Amino acid sequence: MWLKRAGMGILLRWMARHRSIGGRTLRGLARLKHAYQTIGIPTKESLMPDFVRRSIATLSAVLLALLTLACSDEAQRDIQRAALEKVGDLATEQMANATGAHARAGGDSGRDGKNHSRDFFSIPIEVRQLADNVYQARGVGNTQMIVTSEGLVIYDTGLAIQAAKQRRLLLEAVPDLPVTHVILSHSHADHASGAKTWLEPGIELVAHHEFEEEQRYLKELEPFYHGRNRMLFPFMPEEAPTIEILAFGGLVPTMTVDQPDILTIEQGGTVLELLPTPGAEGADNLTLWLPKEKIFFSGDFFGPNFPQFPNVFTMRGEKVRKPIEYIESLNQVIALEPEMIVPSHQDPVVGKEQIKADLIKMRDAVQYVHDRTMEGMNAGKTVYELMAEISLPPELKMTEIHGRVSWAVKSIWEYYATWFHWDTTTELYHVPRTALFPEVVALAGADALVDAAGAHISAGRNIEAIHLLEMVHEADPTHARGLAAHKQALTNMRDAAIATTNNTYEIDWLSYRLRTLESIGADG
């Protein structure tokens, strides 16, 4: 205990001393840049007020120094979590402010001004009790705690920058019981990156058998995926985290389960069943079922909303998912007849009959799109014909805020038929069509192509217009009329997306393309 107090004293004295010499702290700003990026704070000064930069510099340096403090492992963890909580509060506030500013500037705001990214970062980190033995810490990613007489079971751990606060609040709600298990629904950072904040000697880390493989490829391709995600979510840090407690990866489960097996944990009179449910957010999807309480912990099995049309594949890019596996997993959940669904994003869903109806609707919608796609393939139709033709019948209509039906059609087509569409020879070779765009523009004339694009825009054919305008852009990115028409077509498409599907990824992508074109105009 005295080591804890000594460690906290060292921390407080260090912080007090550095507050008095802010100049020295700021001179270390460049050296600590990776620490700011690690905690999710944009490093551009326009997004970071001076007092915030000073606080972050101090707290980040403390975080880096903790590993060498001369105190016990337990004391180091306590100090590290305290520092991480302060850093996480600053990071969350900055990202919420950044997404808000982006929305006000015409960014990724959805229908009625709703901003999908800001929705998550504006969720207060607080604990609520969902059942007699179930607690949830809200955040960008929720953390769930199941209470037994012999200890606490954690399901999902949220973002690393929010995990310390979520942990403290949950353990304050139910003190004096040890954590026995940390269960991860899958390897994505908004569900698993907080695990290091929870793990201590003796705690079991439970995951799907495929967890380590999914984590491996995501880690090896981290620069690739991080760069893509920053296009969609510009508030993200410039580089992926590198400080160990915040960095993605490095988690080694002590217990795993693979389909068709079910792992049953009996502890303190509570029965927990771990169900492999692949096909949703990846091959390593693991859900949790409390049979006595009839509570289903879904992780991201349904995506961030329930019910919704799912991401059969995700446009941001990952390994392919198996649509039939997802249908089979949905059937498995339907058979449980849950009375409450506890997702790792947003709010619980209650009501046995409505849950069952919505589960069946999701399953039937995916099955319908799958079957119509296969029928079209057998009829000799192209993937683009099927994307245009296939839509859900009225009785299966549901929100496409996360996954789009037309994207599912393309995903299913390519899952069964792979990347070669058998429509152009050049698709087999390394020279892309865009390489010839400058020649096409030289032959047709940039102004003539812009005029033709304008006619398409006037007729409501914005996709056709963008085909032409991308040729002009490839040949001359600064062509003034081309830029103006291109921005108009993208704006029209974003407005249409907001008014129809309100699909988060489509809106974020169109917003990214608009930002890119606007930056060219500003530079010019």
Note the pLDDT tens digit of each residue in 184-212: 999 999 999 999 999 999 999 999 999 99
- CA-nearest of 218, 217, 211, 286 to 254 is 211
Distance between CA atoms of residues 220 and 294, nearest Å? 39
Q: Distance between CA 180 and CA 153 in Å, rounded?
A: 6
Instruction: Classify residue 291: in a domain, yes or no.
Output: no
Give, as one character, the DSSP assignment of residue 488.
H
pLDDT given at position 46: 40
Residue-wise pLDDT for 490-521, tens only, equals: 999 999 999 999 999 999 999 999 999 999 86
Position 522 scores a pLDDT of: 60
Q: Is residue 451 part of a domain?
A: yes
| 327 falls within a domain | no
Enclosing domain of residue 457: 426-523
Residue 322, Cβ density class (10 Å: 0-12 exposed, 13-18 middle, ≥19 buried): middle
Point out the least confidently predicted range of 34-38, 56-60, 233-237, 297-301: 34-38
Q: Within 10 A of 463 (CB to CB), how many other CB atoms are there?
A: 10
Burial 135-150 (b: 16+ CB within 10 A, else e): bbbbbbbbbbbbbbee
Q: What is the mean pLDDT of residues 363-381?
A: 98
- The answer to whether residue 473 is domain-embedded is yes
For residue 350, list its beta bridge partners. Answer: 340
**Is the confidence at residue 44, as pLDDT, over 70?**
no
Smallest Cα–Cα separation from 491: which of 87, 173, 106? 106
Whole-number Å distance between alpha carbons of 393 and 374: 17
Strand partners, 287: 275
Best CA proximity match to 164, nearest among 127, 199, 205, 194: 194
User: In the chain, how many domains are there?
Assistant: 1
Is the bond preceding residue 307 a cis peptide, omega within 30 degrees?
yes
Work out the percent of the chain whose per-residue pLDDT is above 70.
81
Q: Give pLDDT tens digits for 46-58.
A: 444 454 455 555 5
Distance spanning both ends of the chain, measured CA to CA: 63
Q: CA–CA separation, 79 vs 86, rounded Å?
A: 11
Q: Which of 19-28, 282-291, 353-362 has the lowest mean pLDDT?
A: 19-28
Integer angstrom CA distances of residue 429 from 93, 419, 438: 47, 12, 19
Q: Are 312 and 405 in contact (CB under 8 A)?
A: no
- Domain-embedded: residue 476: yes
pLDDT above 70: residue 21: no
- With respect to residue 234, please indicate whether it lies within any of the assigned structural domains: no
- 440 domain residue, yes or no: yes
Residue 31 has pLDDT above 60, yes or no: no
Q: Which two tokens stand for residue 283?
A: 């091959």
Look up tokens 């530079």; give the residue: 523
Structural contact between residues 86 and 490, judged by C-beta atoms closer than 8 angstroms: no
Sheet hosting strand 151-155, strand order edge to edge: 127-131, 134-137, 143-148, 151-155, 179-183, 204-208, 255-257
Spatial CA neighbour of 209 closest among 316, 303, 282, 101: 282
Q: What is the pLDDT of residues 450-481, one digit of tens each?
A: 999 999 999 999 999 999 999 999 999 999 99
The Cα angle at residue 30 between residues 24 and 31, in degrees rounded to 5: 80
> Cα separation of 183 and 287, whole Å?
9
Mean pLDDT, rounded, of the chain: 85
SS3 349: strand
Please state, in angstroms and rounded to a whole number, the distance separating the CA atoms of residues 195 and 198.
5
For 183-202, the DSSP string reads E-S-S-HHHHTTHHHH--TT
Question: pLDDT at position 449, please?
Answer: 98
90-124 pLDDT per residue, tens:
888 877 776 655 555 555 544 444 446 657 778 89
Q: Both tokens of residue 376?
A: 């079209």
Give the global pTM.
0.84
- Phi/psi of residue 206, nearest 5 degrees: -115, 130
Residue 375 lies in a domain: no
Residue 399 φ then ψ, to 5°: -60, 140
| Confidence band of 321 (pLDDT split at 50, 70, 90) | confident
Task: Provide the pLDDT for residue 384.
Answer: 96
What are the counts of helices (DSSP H) followed by strands (DSSP E) for the chain? 20, 13
Confidence band (pLDDT; 50, 70, 90) for 36? Answer: very low
